[in-house]
Amino acid sequence: MTLEQKIQKANSLKQEINDINAKIITDMQLFRTAECVTPKHPDKVCDRISDAILDLCLSQDPMSRVAVETMGGHGKLYILGEITTKAIIGNHAINAICKRIAGQDASEIKLVQQSPEIAQGVDTGGAGDQGIMVGYACNDNEEMIPQELYLARSLCKHIYKKHQQDGKTQVTIDQYGNLVTIVASFCHVAKQELEELVKEWATITPGATWSSGLGENRKIFCNPAGDWDQGGFEADTGLTGRKLAVDNYGPGVPIGGGAFSGKDATKVDRSAAYMARRIAVDLLERNKAKEVIVKLAYSIGIAEPVMAVAEIDGYRTQINLEKLDGDLSPRNIIESLELDKPIYEKTAEWGHFGNGFKWDEKRELRGFPVEVDWPTK
C-alpha cells in the first residue's frame, strides 16, 4: 500500500467515525472517553526509568531527594536531574536500569545536587514546591476511578498479558457507563487477533456492556491505521511526565500540580496528590457519596497547605485541618503513606490511582477520618 493510499484510508476511517458519532450522539457532554497506554509506551518507559532511579536511591537512603527526568528515542537516552542522597548510584547502576527497562545504556547521564535554595525550605519540613494537587474517588467501580478509565485500563491490561508491546486503548461510554466505541492499537499484533482479544475482554469484564440502541453503530477500531510493526523508541520519542491524564483519572477530572515520576515525596506534586486521593476515598466511603474531588494547595517552604477543600456530590466544603489527628505536611504524608520506601516504579506502569496502592485503601490511617465543614454549595 502506497503512502497516498494509507492517507486516503486513514481519512476514510476518520470520516466513518465522524458519521457514526453524528448518528448516535445527540449531546456530546453525555459521553466520556479515556485512554490507557502500556508500560512499553515510550513515555511510560521514561517514567519507569525515572522512578526506578528514585527507588534505587530510596532503597539505600530513605531521605533521598530526587528529581530525575528521562528522554529517549531513536537510539538516544538521556538522564538528567537533581539528586541529593547517601546512596551509591554510579553510572553503572543507572545503565543497568536503562538496560532492563529500555534495552539500552544511557547516552548521557547528568545528575547534580538539589539546589540549596530549594533545600533550605524542605529541610525545615516545608513543601518542595508550590502547586494545587487534586484527589478523586467515585463509586463507578471497585477501583473508585472514572468508569471510562477503568475500562480502558482493564482492556489494555488484558491485551498486554498476551502481547507485551507498545500499545494503547481508548474507550468511550455513554451517560450510563455503557460502551459506545473501543479503539485498540498494539504494535506487532495482527488486526484480527486484536479484535478477538477485545471481544473476549468484553465478554469477561464486569461493566463492559454495550450501550443499548446502537445496533450496527457499535464500533471497535483495532489498529485502524493499518499494520503497526515499528513501535517504542524505534518510532517515537518518550519523555517523563507526558501521560498526565493516564497517570491521574482521565480527562474528565481536573489535573493539578505536575508530573509524578522521578520525584521523591518531599515534592508535593506527588505526595499531596496521593494524600488527596486518600482523603477522597475516605470521604466517599463515609458519606456514601457518588463522587468526591479534593484539592490541596501548597507554597514552597511551607509545611501546611494554604488551601484544603473537598467537593462531595457537588457540595463544596472546607477540610477542617484543626480536627486532623496529624497534619497534611509533607513529613506527615510521607510517614502516613510510607512514601520513603522504594515503591515507585510500580506506580509508573499502569497509573497512580486505582491499582491497590496504600492511598487507594479504605482502611483507617493516622489522621483519619477527615472532618469537613458542612454545607456550602
Residue 328 CA: distances (Å) to CA of 137, 217, 273, 293, 356: 19, 49, 11, 17, 22
3-40+146-238 maps to which CATH number? 3.30.300.10
Q: Which residues in the chain are classed under CATH 3.30.300.10?
A: 3-40+146-238, 42-116, 131-140+243-376
Bridge partners (DSSP) of residue 309 are 295, 318
**Residue 59: other Cβ atoms inside 10 A:** 12
Q: How far apart are CA 190 and CA 223, in angstroms?
A: 8
pLDDT in tens, 141-175: 999 999 999 999 999 999 999 999 999 999 999 98
Q: How far apart are CA 195 and CA 210, in angstroms?
A: 15
Q: Which option is the CATH number for 131-140+243-376: 3.40.50.2300, 3.10.129.10, 3.30.360.10, 3.30.300.10?
A: 3.30.300.10
* Mean pLDDT, range 289-310, rounded to an integer: 93
What's the mean per-residue pLDDT of the chain?
89
The answer on pLDDT for 370 being more than 80 is no
Q: At what angle do helices 330-337 and 268-287 cross, to 10 degrees?
A: 60
Helix (H, G, I), strand (E, B) or coil at 204: helix
List the one residue out of 148, 156, 143 whose CA is nearest residue 37: 156
pLDDT of residue 29: 53
Q: Are strands 307-312 and 167-173 parallel, antiparallel or unpaired?
A: unpaired
Residue 104 burial by Cβ neighbours in a 10 Å radius (0-12, 13-18, 19+): middle
pLDDT of residue 213: 66
Q: How far apart are CA 57 and CA 59, in angstroms?
A: 6
* Mean pLDDT, range 264-278, rounded to an integer: 95
The C-alpha cell of 37 is what? Answer: 497506554
Banded pLDDT at 2 (limits 50, 70, 90): confident
42-116 maps to which CATH number? 3.30.300.10
pLDDT of residue 214: 65
The C-alpha cell of 31 is what? Answer: 459521553
pLDDT of residue 262: 97
Q: How far apart are CA 272 and CA 296, in angstroms?
A: 7
The pTM score is: 0.88
Of the listed ranges 75-79, 237-241, 248-252, 321-325, the one predicted with least confidence? 321-325
pLDDT in tens, 20-72: 666 554 545 589 999 999 999 999 999 999 999 999 999 999 999 999 999 99
pLDDT in tens, 184-207: 999 999 999 999 999 999 999 988
pLDDT in tens, 95-108: 999 999 999 999 99
Banded pLDDT at 12 (limits 50, 70, 90): confident
Of all residues in the chain, the percent with pLDDT exceeding 90 is 69
* Mean pLDDT, range 74-91, rounded to an integer: 95
* Mean pLDDT, range 233-257, rounded to an integer: 93
Bridge partners (DSSP) of residue 80 are 69, 110
pLDDT of residue 94: 97
pLDDT of residue 224: 92
